[in-house]
Amino acid sequence: MNEVTLFATCLGEEFFPGAIAAARAVLSRLGLEVIVRREAFCCGQAAFNEGMRREACELATRFLAAHKAGTPLVVPSGSCASMIKVFYPDLLAGEPTLLEAARALIPWVHEFSEFLVDVLGVADVGASFPHAVTYHPSCHLLRELQVVDAPRKLLQNVRGLRLCELPRSTECCGFGGLFSVKFPDISAAMLADKCRCIEQSGAEFVVANDGGCLMQMGGGLHRAGSRVRARHLAEILARR
Amino acid sequence: MLPNGPEAFYAAAGKAAADKELNRKLDNASARHLEHLAAAKREFAAYESERDLARRIKEESIERLDRLLSELRQRLEARGVKVFFAADAAGARDYILKVAREGGVKRVVKGKSMTTEEIGLNPALEQAGIEAVETDLGEYIVQLRREPPSHIITPAIHLSSEDIGHLFAEKLGMDYSSDPPALTAVARARLRDKFLNAEMGITGVNFAVAETGTLVVVENEGNGRFCITAPDIHVAVMGIEKVIPKFEDLSHFLEILARTATGQRFTAYTSFLGAPRGANELDGPREMHLVILDNGRTRMLADPVMREALYCLRCGACLNVCPVYRHIGGHAYKSAYPGPIGSIVSPGLFGAAAAGHLPFASTLCGACREICPVKIDIPRILLHLRWKMTEGGEKVAWPQAAARVRTAARWFARAARYPGMVRAAGRLGAVLLKPFAHDGYLRRMPGPFGAWTRVRDFPAPPANGAGLADSDSGFVTVDRYETVMARIRRGLAPGAAQESANHVEPSPPPRTLDADELRAQFIAAAGAVGASVIEASTAAAAVEKIAAILSNAGADSAAIGAGITIDSAAVTARLSRGGCRITTVGGPGATQAALKESLASVDAGIVEADYGIASSGTLVMVADAARPRSLSLLPPINIVMLRAARILPDLAAVLRIVGPQAASAHPIVMITGPSRTADIEKRIVIGVHGPSQLHIVIVWQSGG
Ligand code: SF4
């Protein structure tokens, strides 16, 4: 059985369809049958993080109806993957049937880079990208899922790619979901730090595995007139 | 300072976030803290397992809170400490004011205590006509500015040394200097007099041990020791959560706290107290009070998710790593407890209307949990509180812009139940926005997204859905013991006694060192914290060394304890020959007045330590009638004799031995290096209120 499900995520569908297509391409090239389920659109993270658990629960219900244990579920976003793996049990604590479905599904859920490196055992996907790239470890990927090395390993094996060190890399970019629009001043101050560090890294591209961070860093760099672009890891790995 | 709703937070946080200078100061201080912490962790192999153990003990303490508190109360009361349970801030304030009034108190010296900030004690004292002097250097600085502390460990972290220089020049009339040692010296000189002429000392409590009835106060400057030694009345204030079961448990907390709070192996001074001054002691308070405060803590206890917040050691590390804190600073939170831990504790203590917005002011990045010594899952608690503030019946009065964002989020979440519909809407939006996009980005967005494009560009949704197409005076001073206990029991009842997921393998005991190795380790560790260590083979040789220390330091007067095992008469005779004026303190017929008098002006105090701790270079002294506490505190030079055979490997070994003495209420102090502070820009300055020089003379030969 070499079937995997790819969860496109709401930000992915709306803003980064290129990244989703790239993730899909990378997985297909490794010989996997990639399925995208159209019945679910959002894991419910934004609502959950805002305390709107009723709404989040509805979305989780739909998500769990669409995605079943038995097929690996690849999530190209650290925070959506944490939502399912770490926070669904909290969200669904009062819903025994859903909780059970979530518990069954969780071992099948993998963040994209972790899936490639730790599950498939692939560090070199045969990509080539002759550019200077730096990597921003998204907070949820790093601290909820403890995925630390996989993205770097993948990038190191991309032909021609020069991996630049990002100063203060583990510091949050300031996105934080609705935080970015509810507390724009604080978010902007954090973003300014991040953009400065990205510029210092000397990279042409900053890579992250999370749509939220990409919107934040990409938007910040663009507003500042920077030439550095924000890209999803999959977009780099899909280049040949 | 109490939080007062989201509007005020928005105004303050917005202003602070734009203050690049503030951010620079906080970043620098934080970087310095993290450096110290990383170094302290590197050399402490057991750090991780100790963290787990500390957490485990806190979990167990909270599950048994009612029993531990009544045990603590009973032990302390049996020794004449007055224990008062306060249900709320007003109860605690009123009690302290009553004690002050009955004791004719005109001036209070205060050690650093966030709990007294929480209850708003200083304004209440001032209103009652009592001068309240903050004596921790950082607190002293912010008090001079008439502002609250902005950090729970480093109150003046938002100020540069230049800021403080200008402040001192203006308020204290000194010549401008931005040199931290010079500024520290001025504060020392100013406060010395206050310490010696205050009727009451007020401090917080870091740990309260139920088993022995011991309060533990941890600090670096020596101001805490002054507050609990010099004035006639000592009032300690603690939250109900500070109690731990056993004296030996302290071995799992003291080192961890020192390391995470300040990156030290051990704080300079750890004081253990459990009774007012003994019948023939010469110093220490005649009257001792302990105020145990609920003020919303039982509400936190009753909530199984919030309960974890009661494990907090108030080490302040989570503030330093928090990117939000480092951009808005402590004052914006308008709470005694800013930063990540504050954002959970403040709604718990002050309610949703005042502080319910704080849990939302976080990106949930998790840096706080990573650094927390007791691994409090702060992001999870923040999420829980956000839920309570949204669906739990507690309401936040969101400003209009934030409220609109929330409404939009709710509608999005509702719409997202119908994937086909949102996708169609998304495609429509993309098509409509396309003409406004430049280079894939939008410069301005309508409605609630306007807040986004105010500060950054918004990625234009690709219009072609690429790639997815197929798939008192009314004082109320009634002891609320019963009320608080009932609340605790009720809070614990649904017990939901969270099964601890935390099974800890104790780390294997380190290899036992022989006496020579212990001595070598002690010397290295004491040297590392700035003490000078000299060895002497015999008592006679030790006396010669002391004479040399005194003459090198240009000291012409010294005080020596009467009860030291090395013949004090011989020491006195030899030193007097060297031209030094020697006073013996604590002998028969000694009085407090004579003690104060003799210590006020001498250059050096000579004492003997009971034990040494090899791993941290710490001296342990059990005070008694012949060895008054002030002897190692007041004189600027402290000379301590330590017999080599009394050097024990680690804190745990010492705690085992001194436990019984703590239980019989002997005041104990642990001294690690000279008095120090890092309150100005986190730069270490040696010599604050306690001695600036610590000389240790290790005597090999036991006996006289
Ligand atoms: S929550 Fe943890 S890190 Fe923060 S102050 Fe408390 S003990 Fe320290």
* Residue A240: per-residue pLDDT: 86
| pLDDT tens figures, B486-515 | 999 999 986 544 555 555 665 656 668 888
- Considering the domain architecture, whether residues A205 and A147 belong to the same structural domain is answered as yes
* Residue B552: per-residue pLDDT: 92
Kindly state whether A41 is in contact with chain B, defined as any CB-CB distance less than 8 angstroms. yes
**Residue B473 pLDDT level (bands cut at 50, 70, 90):** very low
The DSSP element (H or E) to which B506 belongs, if any, is: none
A145 Cα to chain B: minimum distance (Å): 11
* Residue A130: per-residue pLDDT: 96
Q: How many angstroms separate the CA atoms of A81 and A114, rounded?
A: 11
* Residue B488: per-residue pLDDT: 93
| Interface ipTM > 0.90 | yes
Query: For residues B587-614, b (16+ Cβ closer than 10 Å) or e, as one string?
Result: eeebebeebbebbeebbbbbbbbbbbbb
* B475 contacts B97 by C-beta, under 8 angstroms: yes
Q: How many angstroms separate the CA atoms of B205 and B314, rounded?
A: 11
Mean pLDDT across the stretch A179-188? 96
3-state helix, strand, coil in chain B (%, to 5): 50, 15, 35
- Report CA-CA distances (Å) from A177 to A75, A216, B340, B415, B417: 17, 10, 17, 18, 19
* B324 contacts A190 by C-beta, under 8 angstroms: yes
Q: Residue A135 pLDDT > 80, yes or no?
A: yes
Cβ neighbours of A220 in B, within 8 Å: 455-457
A121 Cα to chain B: minimum distance (Å): 26
Helices B47-63 and B65-78 pack at an angle, to 10 degrees, of: 80
* Residue B502: per-residue pLDDT: 56
- Regarding predicted confidence, which is higher, B433 or B146? B146
Contacts of B182 (CB under 8 A, 6+ apart): none
| pLDDT tens figures, B541-579 | 888 999 999 999 999 899 988 766 667 777 788 888 878
Q: Residue A39 pLDDT > 50, yes or no?
A: yes
Kindly state whether A23 is in contact with chain B, defined as any CB-CB distance less than 8 angstroms. no
> Can you say how many angstroms the Cα of residue A30 is from the centroid of all Cα atoms in its chain?
20
- Considering the domain architecture, whether residues A145 and A169 belong to the same structural domain is answered as yes
A154 Cα to chain B: minimum distance (Å): 23
| pLDDT tens figures, B152-206 | 999 999 999 999 999 999 999 989 999 999 999 999 999 999 998 999 999 999 9
- Regarding predicted confidence, which is higher, B662 or B386? B386
- Considering the domain architecture, whether residues A96 and A159 belong to the same structural domain is answered as no
- Report CA-CA distances (Å) from B237 to B125, B189, B202, B216: 15, 27, 8, 12
Least CB-CB distance to A55: which of B389, B414, B443?
B414
* Residue B80: per-residue pLDDT: 95
Q: What is the pTM of this model?
A: 0.93
| Tokens 């840096």 belong to residue | B367
* B36 contacts B260 by C-beta, under 8 angstroms: no
- Considering the domain architecture, whether residues A183 and A133 belong to the same structural domain is answered as yes
Write the DSSP symbol of residue B117. Answer: H
Q: How many angstroms separate the CA atoms of B32 and B321, rounded?
A: 11
| pLDDT tens figures, B264-292 | 888 999 999 999 998 878 899 999 999 99
Structure tokens at A192: 């300014």
Q: Point out the domain boundary residue: A91, A118, A145.
A: A118
Q: Which of B257, B313, B321, B345 has most ligand 1 atoms within 8 Å of its beta carbon, as the pocket-test mutant?
A: B313
* A173 contacts A198 by C-beta, under 8 angstroms: no
Beta strands at A3-6 and A33-35: parallel, antiparallel or unpaired: parallel
> Can you say how many angstroms the Cα of residue B478 is from the centroid of all Cα atoms in its chain?
29
Q: Give me the percent of chain B exceeding a pLDDT of 90.
A: 67
The enclosing domain of A185 has a CATH number of 3.40.50.1860
* Residue B703: per-residue pLDDT: 47
Q: Point out the domain boundary residue: A101, A118, A135.
A: A118
| pLDDT tens figures, B330-362 | 999 999 999 999 999 999 899 899 999 999 999
- Considering the domain architecture, whether residues A83 and A143 belong to the same structural domain is answered as no
> Where do the CATH 3.40.50.10420 domains begin and end in chain B?
44-298, 515-699
Structure tokens at B315: 């080490």
- Considering the domain architecture, whether residues A7 and A114 belong to the same structural domain is answered as yes
Structure tokens at A136: 């921003």
Q: Point out the domain boundary residue: A103, A118, A133.
A: A118
* B605 contacts B634 by C-beta, under 8 angstroms: yes
* Residue B471: per-residue pLDDT: 38
| Helix, strand or coil, per DSSP, at residue B130 | coil
- Considering the domain architecture, whether residues A157 and A93 belong to the same structural domain is answered as no
**Residue B1 pLDDT level (bands cut at 50, 70, 90):** low
Cβ neighbours of A54 in B, within 8 Å: 391
- Considering the domain architecture, whether residues A17 and A104 belong to the same structural domain is answered as yes
Structure tokens at B286: 């005649």
* Residue B506: per-residue pLDDT: 57
| pLDDT tens figures, B399-436 | 999 999 999 999 999 989 888 888 888 888 888 888 88
**Residue B641 pLDDT level (bands cut at 50, 70, 90):** very high
Contacts of A76 (CB under 8 A, 6+ apart): A6, A7, A8, A9, A12, A19, A20, A23, A111, A112, A209, A232, A233, A234
Q: Is B341 in the pocket of ligand 1 (CB under 6 A)?
A: yes
Using only the alpha carbons of chain B, give its radius of gyration. Answer: 28
Give the right CATH number for B44-298 from 3.40.50.10790, 3.40.109.10, 3.40.50.10420, 3.40.30.10.
3.40.50.10420
* A119 contacts A126 by C-beta, under 8 angstroms: no
Q: A107: domain range?
A: 3-118
Q: Residue A41 pLDDT > 60, yes or no?
A: yes
- Report CA-CA distances (Å) from B621 to B533, B624, B692, B704: 17, 9, 18, 19
**Residue A154 pLDDT level (bands cut at 50, 70, 90):** very high
- Considering the domain architecture, whether residues A101 and A131 belong to the same structural domain is answered as no
* Residue B54: per-residue pLDDT: 96
* Residue B367: per-residue pLDDT: 96
Structure tokens at B513: 């060192």
Query: Within the 225-244 window of chain B, which residues sit less than 8 Å (CB to CB) from chain A?
Result: none
Interface test with B, best of A3, A15, A145, A186 (most B CBs within 10 A): A186
Q: Residue B327 pLDDT > 90, yes or no?
A: yes
Domain count, chain A: 2
* B641 contacts B611 by C-beta, under 8 angstroms: no
Mean pLDDT across the stretch B16-37? 91
| pLDDT tens figures, B121-137 | 999 999 999 999 999 99
Strand partners, B84: B291
**Residue range B515-699 in CATH 3.40.50.10420:** yes
Q: Residue B470 pLDDT > 50, yes or no?
A: no
Q: How many angstroms separate the CA atoms of A179 and B382, rounded?
A: 13
* Residue B597: per-residue pLDDT: 78
Q: What is the 3-state secondary structure (H, E, C) of B260-326?
A: HHHCCCCCCEEEEECCCCCCCCCCCCCEEEEEEECCCHHHHHHCCCHHHHHHCCCCCHHHHHCHHHH
- Considering the domain architecture, whether residues A58 and A149 belong to the same structural domain is answered as no
E strand segments, B467-556: 532-536
Q: Using the beta-carbon criterion (under 8 Å), do B449 and A181 form an inter-chain contact?
A: yes
B336 alpha carbon – ligand 1 mean position (Å): 14
Write the DSSP symbol of residue A190. Answer: H
Q: Residue B469 pLDDT > 70, yes or no?
A: no
- Considering the domain architecture, whether residues A113 and A14 belong to the same structural domain is answered as yes
| pLDDT tens figures, B54-113 | 999 999 999 999 999 999 999 999 999 999 999 999 999 999 999 999 999 999 999 999
E strand segments, B34-127: 82-86, 107-110
